[in-house]
């Protein structure tokens, strides 16, 4: 075989290898290929083996798995004019590869920017106490808004979690004082309720005793017994004056 013929075969082999490498694509289970033919969208393919016409068809790979994205820390002014720094994490995935590629330039960056603006907008409508105590509700509100707005891009926002709400140190001290004052207020209310209940019971007992003379005597004897048990004190027993009058009359 002549050297010229060997050269031709070599060139053909190289061309065939380049052609096949450009034509044959393998997609993983979680990947999809958005295919364009001469610049026009012609379908979504995959997973597995797909064959493209080199230089006529191109594809864009799309990851269909759930993506986790940290929302950068945002400065938020609450409804009660408290400045806080908030960050969050969002979980989302592509449910329509066609719209994710053709309806928005960069769906990852677009979702991130939308999450930042939505976080500031939603939290700015609530007071600081709501941010600290009602995170589940706020997470749900942000997730609903994001999911509605990203639906046109073929994106499904599965979950939103507010991670940190950082406030100024002076506000931390103010909140601590407020919590302490609230605890003291509750303690005073509990003590007052106890005093009221005790007064009501004493009033009921006094009414019952006043209606039954025998009850007065029994209470009198019980009190004397309690005093007698304490031997360290000098006890003076009161004696009714009417009894003394009766003695003098007998004499």
Considering the domain architecture, whether residues 96 and 56 belong to the same structural domain is answered as: no
Q: How far apart are CA 8 and CA 153, in angstroms?
A: 50
* Residue 250 pLDDT exceeds 60: no
66 with 90: CB under 8 angstroms? no
Q: 138 and 188 in one domain? A: no
SS (H, E, C) 163-220: EEEEECHHHHHHHHHHHHHHHHHHHHHHHHHHHHHHHHHHHHHHHHHHHCHHHHHHHH
At 14-67, the pLDDT tens digits run 877 877 778 889 999 999 999 999 999 999 998 999 999 888 999 999 999 999
φ/ψ of 60, rounded to 5, equals -125, 125
* Inter-helix orientation angle 169-211/213-228, to 10°: 120
pLDDT in tens, 80-104: 888 888 999 999 999 999 999 999 9
Asked which of 115, 147, 167 is the last residue of a domain, the reply is: 167
Instruction: Provide the domain limits for residue 195.
Output: 178-250
- Burial degree of 141 (CB within 10 A; 0-12, 13-18, 19+): middle
- Record the pTM: 0.65
**Total domain count, the chain:** 3
């Amino acid at each position: 075989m002549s050297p010229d013929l060997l050269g031709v075969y070599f060139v053909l082999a190289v061309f065939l290898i380049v052609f096949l490498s450009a034509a044959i694509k393998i997609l993983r289970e979680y990947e999809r290929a958005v295919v364009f033919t001469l610049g026009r969208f012609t379908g979504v393919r995959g997973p597995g083996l797909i064959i493209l016409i080199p230089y006529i068809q191109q594809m864009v790979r799309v990851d269909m798995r759930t993506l986790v994205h940290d929302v950068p820390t945002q400065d938020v002014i609450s409804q009660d004019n408290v400045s806080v720094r908030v960050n969050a994490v969002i979980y989302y995935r592509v449910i329509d590869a066609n719209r994710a590629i053709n309806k928005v330039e960069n769906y990852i960056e677009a979702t991130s920017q939308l999450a930042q603006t939505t976080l500031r907008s939603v939290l700015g409508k609530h007071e600081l106490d709501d941010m600290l105590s009602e995170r589940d509700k706020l997470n749900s509100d942000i997730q609903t808004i994001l999911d509605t707005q990203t639906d046109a891009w073929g994106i499904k926002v599965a979950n939103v979690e507010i991670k940190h709400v950082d406030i100024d140190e002076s506000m931390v001290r103010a909140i601590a004082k407020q919590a302490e004052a609230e605890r003291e207020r509750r303690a005073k209310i509990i003590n007052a309720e106890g005093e009221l209940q005790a007064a009501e019971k004493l009033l009921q007992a006094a009414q019952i005793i006043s209606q039954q003379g025998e009850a007065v005597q029994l209470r009198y004897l019980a009190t004397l017994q309690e005093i007698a048990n304490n031997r360290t004190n000098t006890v003076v027993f009161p004696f009714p004056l009417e009894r003394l009058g009766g003695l003098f009359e007998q004499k």
